[in-house]
Structure 1
């Protein structure tokens, strides 16, 4: 057997011969997807052709069995030789998840090269090539190979659609169209050929694209444009939980990248066990990781800027953002990491860091999610950054749940002060989807006309009040119950049963019902994960669950399969992760909340006590110092259950350490809270 790349010699085959071979490859791919496997690195090197002419798919080192997963900036799929074939969602730079249709993009890129002699974006390398996959349309294949019929070109371009929902949805649909192209072999013009006319997937999947947000997205893109031209802005987006605030802002990633800018995000934790400024630090950590993917000369220039801007304070920042040490390895963290700051000094430090991380002429968009859970120090710093004139080309976007903000809430004062500032915020309020938008979403999900599903959409709108997250969960639930089913190459549904279905108005209750259908071991491990946080790693889970990482990874598989949690990094390949570095995140705050609610009230204190104790006992000194806020948070929640005098003294010392760390960051209210907790221990 030899690889497809070895077979791609000029003049080796006619286009119709390649098409005949790739039909067989697509049939293999369809069988792979039926077995719930996504290859994730399909390219000419990973397709073999035997001596009899039969194709084989090889190299499943990155394959996954999960329906969806989130790519990261530093994933192995960004290795150079794979870049010409990766789908936009594999870059980790846009608001889309990897799923089985990712393989269709790679199949299309491979087919493009077979038919034209070059990959879709020939001559591009590295981040420029990634940018092309995300933002540029490839040249139509028939413009390069004049012998190629337009119909073949149309199939390839549909495979290479940027958004997975615009690609083919089934291997059956691709095979049908490629065979029709072979039958039209003597016809150059596309004529009446319509791509995907027989393309209906038996896989139930609610589209991830936005509905009803076109005008709001255009407003945000206008702010990105203005900031790219040298302006500054702050945007505050409010709305009920599940209405799509985060999804709307993450949709901006593409617009930012098209303007050669950077987008980074952070999220405040609903259980508030993170260090002060946690969301901002998350965003800056993501920004640093983006820079780490850049060529050596640009990285060296960034290191020089950091030294010039921050000097002796680099050690302090490396303590907060260890990834900075990979850019400036000799930053003196051990000798200069004990600086203490007042609020002005803290602002000075962060503005210099942001300025250094933003290349001249580039715009930066920072998104801070769930401001209703922000600590006062974070709100103070965000307010200062938003109104600081020394940061041109900065777009700050914050989101919050307006219904959770009373008159005395810290965020209410924050918003009011910004309104009176020299740079008042742009304020957007997201509303639920109206009936027409729900009808469009349901039609796209079921691959039918809006007229056909009008009554079903009406029932869905009545049940969920147009809340996008609730709507998605409701559709998943009725599908799992068999009220929506695939039969005879089309989707069917039992409208009367769906209308009659009892449904709580609380989405958490709906999520709890879904969680209770999971296997017992999965139900047991998810509350532990929820206790750790919205994002958790396998090593921490193995500590608090007192189990082997491989077994725990296996226990998570049903929740991953249901899309309740998402794998990050190596979360889909635990067998290649002996150190337990794999990370996961809950698909939504409400899923985490539902998992946490599976525990009885009295069991929660005991769990926090166990988690705090196990983390304190099992982490090394450096990690313990870094996670002191998290550990103190767990033990403080269980303080009333601690009777041992020595353990209470240890808890007092832990709170003292957390209080001093908070004071170093000028998070004085947080520092006072920890010190008070230490006195009460």
Structure 2
């Protein structure tokens, strides 16, 4: 509608999804106007867990049996109103034959005592239930699910197939591979087991039924060398695709960063520095400064602390100057000030100090320290004049 001057966006994300939260904050902070009539007004609506009354109503709607109020009380205490755990709790009661449906009577019957119901450990039982479901599946399905869990809560079919392909693998790469036709079969079996679902019409993108399922699958690979090697292998397999897909750039960087302890070759380490730097530039272009700072820190950590300024001066300077700029924009003032000092101490000339000085001027201005801001600006101009 060309005549309309208003538009409503409804964005949703999990509270624990830090990167999405940072991206949202950066987006709205950057797009704000000084004109109050043109400002973007935002309202956060927190979707909380179900309260006690909601749990009673939910259980009453699902199972109409006597004693449901006491059952609802136990269910609430066990799940704290988490809808996913609540459904899993009822399924556990059914699986343990504590809750059964009588077809001839057309109703549910609580076979166990309330004490037996109260002894169920929902959190542990849910994870055990997921684990049992996965281990009942064929090996190629389990392998596919574990790799998919390392791609995130949602993933693309083509990306998954590339992540499972051994093409161009090094000799030491883990054998986490499945034939293409087997991947399609594995996805279908996973959907039938209520572990995955298609999130689009053409079945090219899939999501886990719940983040707990993804977390459970992710933890099936022990922390340490095995996890590092798998992340490194998947990241290397996806590198070619990330050149044409900016969203994959972040996934590849994250995977390779997780597996960086397994990288011993100096050239490969420098390639990872470049990958992190590229991800940071993409984030900065999208005004996602917290994310940019995250990848810049990762890049700097890969450099030799003793020789980085002497052997890789220009790269090191660019990374620190970019980090100063990113941290100033996302309000990490103390970190920004420390990074600025590093740049000023190591810069070869006044021109290499400019980005750091501008970052410090920005944080001084943001903090309302206008006199210090002016003094620093005049001092920098005087140094340039010399």
Q: TM-score when scaled to structure 1?
A: 0.37
Of residues 582, 586, 599 in structure 1, which corresponds to 2:221?
A: 599
More helix by share: 2
Distance in 1, Cα, partners of 2:201 & 2:179: 16
What's 2:209 paired with? Answer: 587
Q: Which runs of 5+ in 1 are unaligned?
A: 1-301, 306-358, 400-427, 573-581
Superposed, which structure 2 residues align to 1:302-381 within 5 Å? 360=4, 363-375=7-19, 376=22, 378-381=24-27
- Per-residue displacement from partner, 1:343-389 (whole Å, max 9, x unpaired)? xxxxxxxxxxxxxxxx6176514224234533445423334557874
What's 1:491 paired with? Answer: 107
Of residues 502, 510, 535 in structure 1, which corresponds to 2:154?
A: 535
Aligned 8 A contact 2:51 2:81 in 1: yes
Instruction: State the superposition RMSD in angstroms.
Output: 3.2
- Per-residue displacement from partner, 1:101-126 (whole Å, max 9, x unpaired)? xxxxxxxxxxxxxxxxxxxxxxxxxx
Superposed, which structure 2 residues align to 1:310-459 within 5 Å? 360=4, 363-375=7-19, 376=22, 378-383=24-29, 389-391=36-38, 396-398=42-44, 430=48, 432-434=50-52, 436-446=53-63, 448=64, 451=66, 453-459=68-74
What's 1:27 paired with? Answer: none
Decide whether aligned partners of structure 1 residues 656 and 438 sit closer, same or farther in structure 2, where only a CA change above 3 A counts.
Answer: closer
Please state whether the residue corresponding to 2:51 is helix, strand or coil: coil
2:257 aligned with 1:639: no
Distance in 1, Cα, partners of 2:54 & 2:162: 45
Aligned 8 A contact 1:439 1:454 in 2: yes
Of residues 39, 51, 76 in structure 2, which corresponds to 1:461?
A: 76
Superposed, which structure 2 residues align to 1:173-188 within 5 Å? none
Distance in 2, Cα, partners of 1:371 & 1:452: 35
Superposed, which structure 2 residues align to 1:193-232 within 5 Å? none
How far did 1:586 drift? Answer: 1.8
What's 2:183 paired with? Answer: 552
Distance in 1, Cα, partners of 2:130 & 2:205: 22
Decide whether aligned partners of structure 1 residues 549 and 485 sit closer, same or farther in structure 2, where only a CA change above 3 A counts.
Answer: farther
Aligned 8 A contact 1:635 1:651 in 2: yes
Aligned 8 A contact 1:370 1:398 in 2: no
2:131 aligned with 1:515: yes
Aligned 8 A contact 1:663 1:671 in 2: yes
How far did 1:665 drift? Answer: 2.9
Of residues 233, 236, 242 in structure 2, which corresponds to 1:613?
A: 236
Aligned 8 A contact 1:512 1:598 in 2: no
Q: How many residues align?
A: 281
- Per-residue displacement from partner, 1:250-276 (whole Å, max 9, x unpaired)? xxxxxxxxxxxxxxxxxxxxxxxxxxx
How far did 1:495 drift? Answer: 4.0
Distance in 1, Cα, partners of 2:49 & 2:33: 28
2:320 aligned with 1:676: no
How far did 1:637 drift? Answer: 1.2
Decide whether aligned partners of structure 1 residues 390 and 554 sit closer, same or farther in structure 2, where only a CA change above 3 A counts.
Answer: farther
Please state whether the residue corresponding to 2:112 is helix, strand or coil: helix
How far did 1:675 drift? Answer: 3.0
Q: TM-score when scaled to structure 2?
A: 0.62
Decide whether aligned partners of structure 1 residues 491 and 680 sit closer, same or farther in structure 2, where only a CA change above 3 A counts.
Answer: same
Please state whether the residue corresponding to 1:369 is helix, strand or coil: coil
Runs of 4+ in 1 over 6 A off after TM superposition: none
How far did 1:390 drift? Answer: 4.7
How far did 1:583 drift? Answer: 0.9
Superposed, which structure 2 residues align to 1:28-39 within 5 Å? none
Decide whether aligned partners of structure 1 residues 431 and 653 sit closer, same or farther in structure 2, where only a CA change above 3 A counts.
Answer: closer
Aligned 8 A contact 1:367 1:396 in 2: no
What's 1:654 paired with? Answer: 275
